[in-house]
Amino acid sequence: MILLDIKNLKITFKTSSESLLAIDSISFHVDKGETVGVVGETGSGKTITSLSVMRLLPSNAKISGEIFFNGSDLLKISEKEMDEIRGKKISMIFQEPMTAFDPLYTVGTQFSEVLFKHENVSKLEAKKRSVEMLKLVGIPESEKRFYQYPHEYSGGMIQRAMIALALLTNPELIIADEPTTGLDVTIQMQVLNLIKRIQKTSNLSILFITHDLGVISKMANRIIVLYLGKIFEVGTVKDVIFSSIHPYTKGLISSVPTLKTVKYEKLYSIPGNVPSLKEIGEGCRFYSRCPIRMNICKEKDPQLLEYTKGHFAACWAANADRNLVHSYE
């Protein structure tokens, strides 16, 4: 059953001199209890997409399309209605938890404020639930930590506190924006295992945003590969990781070290850099960096097409070699 359904989403940023199309007609969905991973390099539009779901885009952003959550279009409801959903039914784990918490207030105060906003609870009940949630995510001496300030938490601990805050109101959807950035490998695995464990017990849906295919392969049911605001490939983890179609996806996978990687061996890197939005032309956005580009790639933007059931890609070179099922809706 579909929980989040994004259709033909476009996001344009207006400057004093021009309009820049950051997200170009993307569509995807997240089922109840499912984890969908969104991967891509910095500047691909991952965070912008997530902020559009939360309706937290800056004032110079113009958004069109449809974002259905439980059947209601989030782009058409009032700000008051959205305020009741945001933080209650949809929560977000931000990329930088230390900046997401207010340094002037204790962690406990900030937890309690969320409960006061969305639920009719007493101070005692708010503290009890907050302490229980801190304990659930593995924070030791949780009652003591309730009274501490964010700067008194370690990096791994404040990340856990951010997860606890996101789970506090029993949301249906969590948007996790690079939740393990800056953490060492041990803490990273602990955080990922924690998210997976909680998801299993609560039937959470997760939109998991990362640049790390190694991380998303352990977390997601399906993967969306995003590049410069366009979806390049969509499929199950097995399809995208082991039967990737788009050269950009293949490049991302090749750049991930494996157990077979030889010491001092130079890892593959995709040539060139992500162009700015101002440099986008008429054709494929990956044209300048693509190792198998053709003339048509520069002239015409490829459509997202289905190659095997549930596995879609947008690539002219791939189109020339494969039998298509039907276009992506």
Model pLDDT for residues 53-99, shown as the tens digit of each residue: 999 999 999 999 999 999 999 999 999 999 999 989 999 988 777 78
Q: Which of 206, 230, 264 represents a domain boundary (last residue)?
A: 206
Residue 193 sits in the same domain as residue 246: no
Q: With a cut of 70, which residues of the chain have pLDDT below it?
A: 182, 257-265, 320-329
Q: Which two tokens stand for residue 61?
A: 């952003």
CA distance 261 to 3: 40
CA distance 198 to 125: 22
pLDDT per residue over 169-207, tens digit each? 889 999 999 887 767 777 778 878 888 888 888 889 999
CATH number for position 66: 3.40.50.300
Residue 8 sits in the same domain as residue 74: yes
Residue 185 sits in the same domain as residue 98: yes
Q: Structural domain of residue 151, as residue ranges?
A: 1-27+53-206
Strands in 90-93's sheet, in edge-to-edge order, are 90-93, 173-177, 205-210, 35-39, 222-227, 230-236, 311-313, 305-308
Domain tally for the chain? 2
Residue 240 CB-half CA count within 13 A: 32
Residue 190 sits in the same domain as residue 327: no
Residue at 326 is within a domain: yes
Residue 169 sits in the same domain as residue 298: no
Q: What is the DSSP string of 226-289?
A: EETTEEEEEEEHHHHHHS--SHHHHHHHHTS--TTPPTTPPPP--SS-PPPGGG--SS-TTGGG
Residue at 214 is within a domain: no
CA distance 96 to 81: 27
First-last CA distance in the chain = 17
Residue 253 sits in the same domain as residue 200: no
Residue 98 sits in the same domain as residue 166: yes
Residue at 233 is within a domain: no
Residue at 13 is within a domain: yes
Q: Which two tokens stand for residue 22?
A: 């950051």
Q: Which of 155, 178, 206 represents a domain boundary (last residue)?
A: 206
Residue 202 sits in the same domain as residue 246: no
Amino acid in the structure at residue 112: S
Residue 1 sits in the same domain as residue 138: yes
Q: For residue 249, what are the CA distances in angstroms to 6, 99, 107, 268?
A: 22, 32, 40, 13
Amino acid in the structure at residue 313: A
Residue at 32 is within a domain: no
Residue 162 sits in the same domain as residue 72: yes
Amino acid in the structure at residue 54: M
Q: Which of 206, 234, 263 represents a domain boundary (last residue)?
A: 206
DSSP 8-state assignment for residue 18: -
CA distance 306 to 233: 9
At 144 the pLDDT is 95
At 324 the pLDDT is 42
Residue 148 sits in the same domain as residue 262: no
Residue 87 sits in the same domain as residue 187: yes
Segments of the chain assigned E as strands? 2-14, 19-31, 35-39, 61-69, 72-73, 90-93, 173-177, 205-210, 222-227, 230-236, 305-308, 311-313
Residue at 322 is within a domain: yes
Residue at 183 is within a domain: yes
Residue at 42 is within a domain: no
At 304 the pLDDT is 92
